[in-house]
Amino acid sequence: MNCDLLIKNCFLLTSDFNVIEDQGIAIKDGKILEIGDAIYISEKYKAATTIDGKGKLAMPGLIDAHTHTCQQLLRGRTMDEYPMIWTRFLVPFESNLTPDDVYHSAKLSCLEMIKSGTTAFADSGGVHMNRVADAVVESGMRAAIAKSTMDMGNAIADPMKETPEEVIKATEELYSGYQGKGDGRIDIWFAIRQVMTCSPKLVRMIGEKAKEYSTGIHAHLCEHKDEVSFCLQNYKKRPVEFLNEMGVLGPNLLTAHNVVLSEGDLTLIKEKDIKIIHCPRANFSSHGFPKTPRMLEMGISVGLGSDGAAQSSLSLFDEIKIFHSGIKAFWGLPYFDPAVLTAKELIKMGTLGGAKALQLEEKIGTIEAEKRADIILIDIDKPHILPTHNIIKTFVGAVGAHDVNDVIIDGKLIMKNREVLTLDEEEILYNSKKRMESITSRAGI
């Protein structure tokens, strides 16, 4: 039997997040045809392209469920700075971006993500998001892309604010132009930047339009105490209660950060099947430690995001390590609970948790027959990984972005032996350096 791509003799991260050896994976028309014993699969299928998986772990591609591709060229500018970083750096930077700036920033983001094993992402929005979509189509990645939406806020530059009608029109135009592009790899979502910069009218309209288009909503939620205080002062409700009153709470809502949630908030989130995304490095350094163990106990879906490269990198491997240590120190150590957040749960967050957030758990997030073939191969035959008593635990503690050897997205080989095949790395780095200097000068940062 013929197939397009065959991975042979690999370790495999199974759909129940265990690891088995000597496996083969047959891929055709973007889908996983069959998984099984390496010898059986190799004898059954004749492939156009074969990848030797010896010494490699095949696992689902990582999913960055909250990022800002337009902030890629802000890297290294916001760390160790006093508040408010948003008003002092992000607003002047973002308000001075040109369409070409955004395009090159997005290409650099895609390049970094591919090289660190991320195959899909959710961008919560910035300016000129059509150019982000263009870059994603070229890269071969999968993405849920939203346009930043803000219609109020004293700290927001006027060019970044639009009327609710303008916001909806712009998102509808983005949807009509890009939904389903890249052989179905692009989804266009609506966005609520945050409750402090979106009026009740705008929030209601976004909820209604997302239902009309059967698409998702990407929002920042309960990132910090100021947001909760703002809602209590202006609406006499906490942010989650406010969004519920506006009619936007539902399974299609992806919320980023979620640091200052109350027990009542968590009850509503569970009831409405809202998807939670944590950004450990961004949150631990700025806002605090979320109630993740409680969320998992309640059966709430949790995924991971990088929050963009302004303060760190786009590596979800680094997010996983930091999250493991931070949650264990904050919620585990005081109560002598070393298993407060397990290695298996962390890997699930970085894969299936992100897939659920992007509303794609039926297509990606685990390696199973009939699912889309979004697969990464980790070179584990290295002294910092093998031998090990437990590959899952060692994965969380030791594996990094540099260990990703091959990347397959939608059945296509996107990176082979750490060479990205869809993007010109040298050209991207050259253009990005020039763009960073130009933007910094224009923004005055």
Q: In three state form, how does the secondary structure of the chain look?
A: CEEEEEEEEEEEECCCCCEEEEEEEEEECCEEEEEEEHHHHHHHCEEEEEEECCCEEEEECEEEEEECHHHHHHCCCCCCCCCCHHHHHHHHHHHCCCHHHHHHHHHHHHHHHHHCCEEEEEECCCCCHHHHHHHHHHHCCEEEEECCCCCCCCCCCHHHCCCHHHHHHHHHHHHHHHCCHHHHCEEEEEEECCCCCCCHHHHHHHHHHHHHHCCCEEEEECCCHHHHHHHHHHHCCCHHHHHHHCCCCCCCEEEEECCCCCHHHHHHHHHHCCEEEECHHHHHHHCCCCCHHHHHHHCCCEEECCCCCCCCCCCHHHHHHHHHHHHHHHHHHHHCCCCCCCHHHHHHHHHHHHHHHCCCCCCCCCCCCCCECCEEEEECCCCCCCCCCCHHHHHHHHCCHHHEEEEEECCEEEEECCEECCCCHHHHHHHHHHHHHHHHHHHCC
Convert the pLDDT of each residue in 182-208 to its tens digit. 999 999 999 999 999 999 999 999 999
Query: 2-60+370-418 with 62-357: one CATH topology?
Result: no
User: According to the model, what pLDDT value does residue 155 have?
Assistant: 75
pLDDT, greater one: 91 or 249: 249
User: According to the model, what pLDDT value does residue 135 have?
Assistant: 98
Domain 62-357 sits in CATH at 3.20.20.140
pLDDT more than 90, % of the chain: 89
For the ranges 77-81, 182-186, 226-230, 346-350, the lowest mean pLDDT is seen at 77-81
| Residue 400, pLDDT above cutoff 90 | yes
User: According to the model, what pLDDT value does residue 304 have?
Assistant: 98
| Residue 89, pLDDT above cutoff 90 | no
| Residue 306, pLDDT above cutoff 80 | yes
User: According to the model, what pLDDT value does residue 154 have?
Assistant: 80
Task: Place 286 in a pLDDT band, splitting at 50, 70 and 90.
Answer: confident
| Residue 84, pLDDT above cutoff 90 | no
| Residue 264, pLDDT above cutoff 90 | yes
Domain map (residue ranges) of the chain: 2-60+370-418, 62-357
| Residue 68, pLDDT above cutoff 80 | yes
Average per-residue pLDDT in the chain? 95
Convert the pLDDT of each residue in 2-61 to its tens digit. 999 999 999 999 999 999 999 999 999 999 999 999 999 999 999 999 999 999 999 999
User: According to the model, what pLDDT value does residue 215 have?
Assistant: 98
| Residue 86, pLDDT above cutoff 80 | no
Task: Place 88 in a pLDDT band, splitting at 50, 70 and 90.
Answer: confident
User: According to the model, what pLDDT value does residue 77 have?
Assistant: 82
| Residue 252, pLDDT above cutoff 90 | yes
CATH 2.30.40.10 assigned to 2-60+370-418: yes
Task: Place 157 in a pLDDT band, splitting at 50, 70 and 90.
Answer: confident
Convert the pLDDT of each residue in 108-126 to its tens digit. 999 999 999 999 999 999 8
> What's the rounded mean pLDDT across residues 290-308?
97
